[in-house]
Amino acid sequence: MTNKKILITGASRGLGLAISKKLSSQYELILHASSKESFTTTLPNSHILCADLSNPEQVSDFCKQLKKEHGGELYGVINNAGVTFDNSLIFQPEKAIDTMLNVNLRAPIMICKTAMKIFSLSKKGVIINISSVVGETGNAFQAVYASTKAGLVALSRSLAQEVAALNEEHSIRVLSISPGFIETDMTDKLPEKEKEKYLKMIPSKRFGKAEDVAELISFLLSEQSAYVNGTNIHINGGLA
């Protein structure tokens, strides 16, 4: 166990929960969800910090609290919380558009801003933004969601370059990962026909598990991946 603290947003379910379980024996965790009631699993050595990420004021308070209470030991940030409302853009309500932009892109930007301030003092740290395969391929009825996910890839690449421009020496890394189809609440909602369509497109002949993603995150936080930086890693079973 190190004294490094790792923030995982959206840690109550799906990928965030699997990532938290995987990391809990190695790190002190700061677990985020929209509210305390979202958590049904208690993990040892963890703190809970909640905010509705669709609300900019709550995001601002969350970032202040993160810096104040955990700034000294913060080493890793996993911007994982995300939301999708699949719909044709023609019919997408403005509120749903704003929620996706705020939760999936604005909040990660603000959390990265806070982490960058903290890491610029310690000269070390890792930020991993959870993008999606659709950020690269696009997807019908996910125009806004896919845009936010493409934004996270650009955010990560840009910040990795910015860290280098601002620091002579450092071991700060900024990355994104793009999961394909992973079995969670988010993908459970899809119609069976859609799931069958995706399965046929996956050379590994199975959907991903949240634990597959947790293994990758654990590696990307570790010293073993010290030279992996400013890039986007796909984890999708070969989904074309």
Ligand X SMILES: NC(=O)c1ccc[n+]([C@@H]2O[C@H](COP(=O)([O-])OP(=O)(O)OC[C@H]3O[C@@H](n4cnc5c(N)ncnc54)[C@H](OP(=O)(O)O)[C@@H]3O)[C@@H](O)[C@H]2O)c1
Give catalytic residues, as residue numbers: 145
Q: Would you say 38 or 171 has its CB closer to ligand X?
A: 38
Q: Is 108 among the residues that bind ligand X (CB under 6 A)?
A: no
3-class secondary-structure state, position 79: strand
Among 8, 81, 100, 111, binds ligand X (CB under 6 A): 81
**Cα(168)–Cα(164) distance, rounded to whole angstroms?**
7
Q: Is 185 among the residues that bind ligand X (CB under 6 A)?
A: yes
Q: Is 118 among the residues that bind ligand X (CB under 6 A)?
A: no
- Using CB under 6 A as the binding rule, the residues of this chain from 54 to 73 that contact ligand X are 54
Q: Is 132 among the residues that bind ligand X (CB under 6 A)?
A: yes
Output the smallest distance, CB 240 to ligand X, in A: 15
Q: Would you say 13 or 22 has its CB closer to ligand X?
A: 13
**Cα(231)–Cα(5) distance, rounded to whole angstroms?**
23
CB distance 173 to 228 below 8 Å: yes
Q: Would you say 116 or 182 has its CB closer to ligand X?
A: 182
**Cα(130)–Cα(18) distance, rounded to whole angstroms?**
14
Q: Is 130 among the residues that bind ligand X (CB under 6 A)?
A: yes
State the number of CA atoms in the 13 A half-sphere of 122 facing the CB: 20
Q: Would you say 39 or 75 has its CB closer to ligand X?
A: 39
Output the smallest distance, CB 213 to ligand X, in A: 8
Q: Is 136 among the residues that bind ligand X (CB under 6 A)?
A: no
Q: Is 46 among the residues that bind ligand X (CB under 6 A)?
A: no
- Using CB under 6 A as the binding rule, the residues of this chain from 22 to 41 that contact ligand X are 33-35, 38
Q: Would you say 3 or 42 has its CB closer to ligand X?
A: 42
- Considering only 66-74, 77-85, 160-168, 223-231, which stretch makes contact with ligand X by CB under 6 A? 77-85
Q: Is 153 among the residues that bind ligand X (CB under 6 A)?
A: no
**Cα(163)–Cα(176) distance, rounded to whole angstroms?**
15
Q: Is 186 among the residues that bind ligand X (CB under 6 A)?
A: yes
- The distance from CA 11 to its chain's CA centroid, rounded to whole angstroms, is 10
- Using CB under 6 A as the binding rule, the residues of this chain from 4 to 23 that contact ligand X are 10, 12-16
Q: Which residues bind ligand X (CB under 6 A)?
A: 10, 12-16, 33-35, 38, 52-54, 80-83, 103, 130, 132, 179, 181-182, 184-187
